[in-house]
Chains A and B, each alone.
Chain A
């Protein structure tokens, strides 16, 4: 069964600190892996998208890594800000015609002053 698992479920860090979120997947065939930020009561906003051949991709203070061999990804947030408080969702797109998205359950990040 195609699944995406994320850890930790929730995380509290102090403003200015770094953190790393993890994502493991069993989706096959694989097309791409995405990280989204979802603020409470809002739709997801794309942070990064990586294909099979990409190992790392950055978007400002967000850096995602992908190990397609072990089927693991991480999202590293540098110098966290209060506005980073949100749910971070790892999403894997199935290969094939539909490109169906398989969503992880997310990591709820709280950045405290």
Chain B
């Protein structure tokens, strides 16, 4: 159990377009979902934390109007990169937390975004 999926796994888009990435907890309800960004040879950096039915909490330096997060249900969170630019090209990873226990956080497989 505890599987988290992301869709799409890879996306290439033109500069100026918007891209939506989905994160789903397949076999559990996620009280909290997290979105991370990872640049090559660097560690994961938390972008935002979202709780179902409430607004996401963004980390310092992350533009909330550029990275729109919607946590519509206990099994689905979406990240929309609006007006994407080449510098937004990165590996985006979500994770989902089941319950409040410390060991109940599971990562998705990631989405590779390339903006041309």
A103/B43 contact (C-beta < 8 A), A41-B110, A41-B112, A42-B110 known: yes
For window 33-79 of B, CB contacts with A under 8 Å fall at 41-46, 49
Q: Chain B: interface residue count, which band?
A: 20 to 34
Inter-chain CA distance A104–B43, complex, in Å, is 6
Min CB–CB distance A90 → chain B (angstroms): 10
A44 at the interface (CB under 8 A from B): yes
Tell me whether A49 and B103 are in contact (CB under 8 A). yes
For residue A46, which residues in chain B have a CB less than 8 angstroms away from its CB? 106
For residue A36, which residues in chain B have a CB less than 8 angstroms away from its CB? 107
Interface of B is mostly: strand
- Report the number of A-B residue pairs with Cβ-Cβ less than 8 Å: 41
A17 at the interface (CB under 8 A from B): no
A40-56: CB near B (< 8 Å → 1, else 0) gives 01111110010100000
Smallest CB gap from B100: residue in A: A99
For residue B110, which residues in chain A have a CB less than 8 angstroms away from its CB? 41-43
| B interface residues (Cβ-Cβ under 8 A, vs A) | 4, 6, 41-46, 49, 91, 93, 95, 102-103, 105-110, 112
Tell me whether B44 and A31 are in contact (CB under 8 A). no
For residue B106, which residues in chain A have a CB less than 8 angstroms away from its CB? 46
A41/B91 contact (C-beta < 8 A), A101-B46, A105-B43 known: yes
A43/B109 contact (C-beta < 8 A), A89-B43, A100-B46, A101-B46 known: yes
Tell me whether A49 and B102 are in contact (CB under 8 A). yes
Smallest CB gap from A108: residue in B: B41
- Please pick, from B42, B102, B108, the residue contacting A43 in the complex, using a CB distance under 8 A: B108
Instruction: Tell me which of A31, A32, A49, A101 has the highest count of chain B C-beta atoms within 10 A of its own C-beta.
Output: A101
Tell me whether B102 and A99 are in contact (CB under 8 A). yes
Tell me whether A45 and B107 are in contact (CB under 8 A). yes
